[in-house]
C-alpha cells in the first residue's frame, strides 16, 4: 500500500528525517511512535506533499508520491488528519465535513455524510455549530470525519489522542480499531506508546529521524529496551 | 434648518451612493479576509475598470449596464492572473511582500493609464443620466437607483457563492486554516487567485455602475479606496455583511454631512466616523473580537 525507503527531509538545511524506511500493507494499523521532535510530523508533511523530500522514495499503491502536490496526494486517496486538527473554526461542522470531499469522493458526499454522522452521532447534533466552538474531543471527531469524507485508501492520523481526556482517548482508540475493522488501513502517529501498541498490528519507533526499532506491535510491547525507554519500566 | 423631504432625499441618495461604496469595499474586504493584506492596487484596478467602461461606451457604443457581464469576466481574469502570476510569485509567501507588490502594481497601472489616457477627466453621456424616479415627494436619480439595485444583487450573489458553493467554502476555509485546506485537497494558490479575481470582478461591476454618475481620470480610484478602506475597518476587517452595512452607513454619513456643512466638507464626516470607530470599537461593527 505505502512503501517508504530512505526518506530524507528537513527545513532549510536542517535535516529532520535522516533515512526513514517503513511500509503499510492493506488492512493494517501501523503505529509510528516516538517522543516530541523526532520527526513524526515532518514525515506526515512529506507524505502529504506539504513539504518536499530531499531524497528517498515513497510509493503509494505502486505510484510514486514524490513531486505530487497536496491536492494530488488527496486525489490518490492518501488522507492526512493533521496534528492539532486544523479544522476550519469559522465554518459549521457540516461545512467542514463537506470540504472533506472537496477533491475526492464528491459524488458520494451525501451518503458519506450520513456515514460520518452514524459514526459520530454527536456531530449530527452539532451540525450547524461553528467548529471552532466545539470541545477538543468533538473537534477531533470533525477532523477524522472530514478525513473519512474523502473515502481514504489510507488514513494517516497524527496525534489523534493529543489533548483528550483519558476516557476520550479510550474512545478514540476504539474508534480507530473500528474504522480499521471496516477495511481501512491506518497509519497512527502517536506519542501514546502503550495504547498505540495495543491497537496496532505493527509499529515503528523513530528516534532522531531514523527508525530505531520496528516489528510486530505485541513483540515490541514486550521488548525490554522499549519498555525502559518509553514506559519507564 | 432643512425641511424633512430634503433630509430624507439626502439620506436616500446617501444609501444609493453607499451601495456602490459597499461594492468597492466588498472586494477589498474579501481579499483582506483571505490573503490578510490590504490590496493597495484596489484603487488602480477600479480606475482601470472605469476606463474600460469609458472605452466600451465611447468607442463601441455599449451601454454601461450592458457591459457588466462582459467586464466582470474580463476583470476576474485580470485579477486571477495578477495574483497567480505576479503578486503570488513575487511575494514568496510573505504577507509583508504582498503589500509592497500590490503597491508597486498600483503605481504601474496608474502610470500606464496616465500615459495612455493623459490626466484629463472624462465622462460618458447616457440618455438616462438626468432621468429621475419620483417616490412620493422625493426625486431619485434613475442611474443611482440602478446602481443600488445592482450592488444589492451582486452582494447577494457573492454571499451565495461564499456560502453555497464548494469554491466559496474553500475561500472561507483558506482564510482561516491554510494547512487544513491543503490537506483536504484545496489548491491554496488557486483559491488565492480566485479571491483576487472576485475582488477585481466586483470592481468591474462598481465601475459600470459609477460611470453614468461619475467621471474618470487616472487617479480617481484612490478617493474611492480611501472611503472603502474606512468601510472595511468600520464593518470589521474581512466581514462581508460588515462591508455592506458599513458602505450604506458611510454613504448616508457623507450625504448628510454634505447637506449640513456643504459639499466640500462631505468627506469629513466619514473620517470622523473612522477615528471614532478606531477609538471605540477597533474590531469594527461585525468584526471578530480580538
Domain limits of chain A? 1-77+153-233, 84-150
Q: Does B118 touch chain A (CB under 8 A)?
A: no
Look up cell 450592458; give the residue.
B66
CB B98 within 8 A of CB B34: no
CATH assignment of A1-77+153-233, among 3.40.50.300, 3.40.50.720, 3.40.50.11540, 2.10.109.10: 3.40.50.300
Contact A102 B170 (CB under 8 A): yes
What SS3 state is found at A27?
Answer: coil
What is the Cα–Cα distance from B110 to A185, expressed in whole angstroms?
57
Q: Are strands A210-216 and B132-135 parallel, antiparallel or unpaired?
A: unpaired
pLDDT digits (tens, 9 = 90+) for A90-125: 999 999 999 999 999 999 999 999 999 999 999 999
Chain B residues within 8 A of A102 when measuring between CB atoms: 166, 169-170, 184-186
CA of B221: how far to CAs of A169, B77, B217, in Å?
57, 20, 8
Q: Does B169 touch chain A (CB under 8 A)?
A: yes
The DSSP code sequence of chain B is ---HHHHHHHHHHHHHHHHHHHHHHHHHHHHHHHH-S--TTHHHHHHHHHHHHHHHHHHH---TTTTHHHHHHHHHHHHHHIIIIIIHHHHTT-HHHHHHHHHHHHHHHHHHHHHHH-S--B----TTTT-EEEETTEEEEHHHHHHHHHHHHHHHHHHHHHHHSHHHHHHHHHHH-HHHHHHTT--HHHHHHHHHHHHHHHHHHHHHHHTTTS-B-TTHHHHHHHHHHHHHHHH-TT-HHHHHHHHHHHHHHHHHHHHHH-GGGHHHHHHHHHHHHHHH-TT-SSSPP-
- Number of residues in chain B: 290
Q: Which positions ≥6 away from B239 have C-beta within 8 Å?
A: B29, B33, B284, B285, B286, B287
Which helix (DSSP H) or strand (DSSP E) does residue A31 occupy? strand A29-33
CA angle A72, A77, A81 (to 5 degrees): 95
Residue A155's closest CA among A165, A145, A164, A163? Answer: A145
Contact A88 B179 (CB under 8 A): no
Chains A, B: CB contacts within 8 A come to 72
What is the Cα–Cα distance from B229 to B4, expressed in whole angstroms?
31
What is the Cα–Cα distance from A121 to B29, expressed in whole angstroms?
37
Q: What pLDDT, on the 0 to 100 scale, is given for residue B290? A: 41
Q: What pLDDT, on the 0 to 100 scale, is given for residue A233? A: 59
Q: Any bridge partners for residue B132, and if so which?
A: B141
Q: Does B172 touch chain A (CB under 8 A)?
A: yes
What SS3 state is found at A213?
Answer: strand
Per-residue pLDDT of chain B (290 residues; tens, 9 = 90+): 678 888 998 999 999 999 999 999 999 999 998 888 889 999 999 999 999 999 999 999 999 999 999 999 999 999 999 999 999 999 887 778 888 899 999 999 999 999 999 999 999 988 887 888 888 788 888 888 988 998 889 889 999 999 999 999 999 999 999 999 999 999 999 999 999 999 999 999 999 999 998 999 999 998 888 899 999 988 888 888 889 999 999 999 999 998 988 877 778 888 888 888 889 888 887 776 44
Of B173, B185, B187, the CB nearest to A88: B173
What is the Cα–Cα distance from B247 to B244, expressed in whole angstroms?
5
Sign of CA dihedral A149, A151, A156, A161: positive
What is the Cα–Cα distance from A17 to A53, expressed in whole angstroms?
9
Q: Which positions ≥6 away from A204 have C-beta within 8 Å?
A: A22, A30, A31, A32, A33, A211, A213, A214
Distance (Å) from the C-alpha of residue B270 to the closest C-alpha of chain A?
30
Extract the C-alpha cell encoding B104. 508597486
What is the Cα–Cα distance from A47 to A74, expressed in whole angstroms?
10
Q: What are phi and psi of A210, to 5 degrees?
A: -135, 160
**How far is the first Cα of chain B from the last one, in angstroms, to the nearest whole number?**
42
What SS3 state is found at A146?
Answer: helix
Of B177, B179, B186, the CB nearest to A102: B186
Distance (Å) from the C-alpha of residue A103 to the closest C-alpha of chain B?
5
What is the Cα–Cα distance from B226 to A159, expressed in whole angstroms?
47
Per-residue pLDDT of chain A (233 residues; tens, 9 = 90+): 999 999 999 998 899 999 999 999 999 999 999 888 889 999 999 999 999 999 999 999 999 999 999 999 999 999 999 999 999 999 999 999 999 999 999 999 999 999 999 999 999 999 999 999 999 999 999 999 999 999 999 999 999 998 889 999 999 999 999 999 999 999 999 988 989 999 999 999 999 999 999 999 999 988 888 877 776 65
Contact A150 B185 (CB under 8 A): yes
Contact B180 A88 (CB under 8 A): yes
CB B57 within 8 A of CB B124: yes
Q: What pLDDT, on the 0 to 100 scale, is given for residue A232? A: 64
What is the Cα–Cα distance from A88 to A96, expressed in whole angstroms?
6
Q: Does B194 touch chain A (CB under 8 A)?
A: no
Contact A89 B175 (CB under 8 A): no
ipTM (interface predicted TM)? 0.93
What is the Cα–Cα distance from A96 to A140, expressed in whole angstroms?
12
Cβ-in-10-Å burial (0-12, 13-18, 19+) of B118 comes to: exposed
Chain B residues within 8 A of A70 when measuring between CB atoms: 182-183, 185
Contact B169 A85 (CB under 8 A): no
Amino acid at each position: 500500500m505505502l512503501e517508504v525507503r530512505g526518506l530524507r527531509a528537513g527545513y532549510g538545511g536542517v535535516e529532520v528525517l535522516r533515512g526513514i524506511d517503513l511500509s503499510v500493507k492493506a488492512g493494517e494499523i501501523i503505529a509510528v511512535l516516538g517522543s516530541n521532535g523526532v520527526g513524526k510530523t515532518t514525515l506526515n508533511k512529506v507524505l502529504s506533499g506539504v513539504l518536499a523530500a530531499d531524497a528517498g522514495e515513497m510509493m503509494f499503491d505502486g505510484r510514486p508520491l514524490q513531486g505530487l502536490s497536496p491536492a494530488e496526494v488527496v486525489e490518490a486517496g492518501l488522507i492526512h488528519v493533521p496534528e492539532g486538527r486544523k479544522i476550519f473554526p469559522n465554518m459549521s461542522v457540516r461545512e467542514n465535513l463537506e470540504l472533506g470531499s472537496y477533491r475526492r469522493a464528491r459524488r458520494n458526499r451525501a451518503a458519506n455524510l450520513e456515514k460520518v454522522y452514524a459514526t459520530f452521532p454527536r456531530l449530527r447534533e452539532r451540525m450547524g455549530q461553528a467548529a471552532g466552538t466545539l470541545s477538543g474531543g468533538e473537534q477531533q471527531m470533525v477532523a477524522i470525519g472530514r478525513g473519512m469524507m474523502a473515502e481514504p485508501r489510507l488514513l494517516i492520523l497524527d496525534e489523534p489522542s493529543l489533548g483528550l481526556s483519558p476516557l476520550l482517548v479510550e474512545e478514540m482508540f476504539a474508534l480507530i480499531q473500528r474504522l480499521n475493522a471496516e477495511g481501512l488501513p491506518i497509519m497512527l502517529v502517536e506519542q501514546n506508546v502503550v495504547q498505540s501498541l495495543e491497537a496496532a498490528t505493527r509499529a515503528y519507533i523513530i528516534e532522531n529521524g531514523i527508525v530505531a526499532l520496528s516489528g510486530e506491535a505485541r513483540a515490541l510491547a514486550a521488548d525490554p529496551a522499549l519498555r525502559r525507554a518509553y514506559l519507564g519500566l | 434648518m432643512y425641511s424633512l423631504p430634503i433630509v430624507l432625499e439626502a439620506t436616500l441618495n446617501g444609501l444609493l451612493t453607499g451601495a456602490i461604496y459597499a461594492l468597492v469595499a466588498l472586494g477589498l474586504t474579501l481579499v483582506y479576509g483571505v490573503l490578510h493584506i490590504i490590496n493597495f492596487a484596489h484603487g488602480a484596478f477600479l480606475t482601470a475598470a472605469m476606463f474600460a467602461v469609458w472605452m466600451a461606451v465611447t468607442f463601441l457604443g455599449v451601454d454601461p449596464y450592458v457591459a457588466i457581464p462582459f467586464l466582470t469576466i474580463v476583470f476576474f481574469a485580470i485579477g486571477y492572473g495578477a495574483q497567480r502570476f505576479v503578486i503570488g510569485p513575487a511575494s514568496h509567501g510573505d504577507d509583508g511582500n504582498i503589500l509592497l507588490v500590490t503597491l508597486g502594481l498600483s503605481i504601474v497601472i496608474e502610470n500606464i493609464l496616465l500615459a495612455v489616457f493623459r490626466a484629463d477627466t472624462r465622462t460618458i453621456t447616457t440618455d438616462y443620466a438626468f432621468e429621475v424616479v419620483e417616490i412620493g415627494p422625493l426625486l431619485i436619480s434613475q442611474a443611482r437607483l440602478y446602481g443600488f439595485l445592482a450592488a444589492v444583487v451582486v452582494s447577494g450573489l457573492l454571499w451565495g457563492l461564499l456560502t453555497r458553493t464548494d469554491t466559496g467554502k474553500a475561500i472561507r476555509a483558506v482564510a482561516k486554516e491554510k494547512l487544513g485546506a491543503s490537506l483536504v485537497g484545496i489548491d491554496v494558490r488557486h483559491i488565492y487567485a480566485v479571491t483576487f479575481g472576485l475582488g477585481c470582478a466586483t470592481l468591474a461591476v462598481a465601475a459600470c455602475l459609477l460611470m453614468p454618475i461619475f467621471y474618470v481620470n487616472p487617479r480617481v480610484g484612490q478617493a474611492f479606496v480611501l472611503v472603502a478602506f474606512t468601510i472595511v475597518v468600520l464593518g470589521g476587517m474581512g466581514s462581508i455583511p460588515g462591508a455592506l452595512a458599513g458602505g450604506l452607513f458611510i454613504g448616508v454619513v457623507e450625504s448628510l454631512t454634505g447637506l449640513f456643512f456643504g459639499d466640500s466638507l462631505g468627506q469629513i464626516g466619514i473620517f470622523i466616523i473612522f477615528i471614532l470607530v478606531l477609538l471605540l470599537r477597533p474590531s469594527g461593527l461585525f468584526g471578530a473580537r480580538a
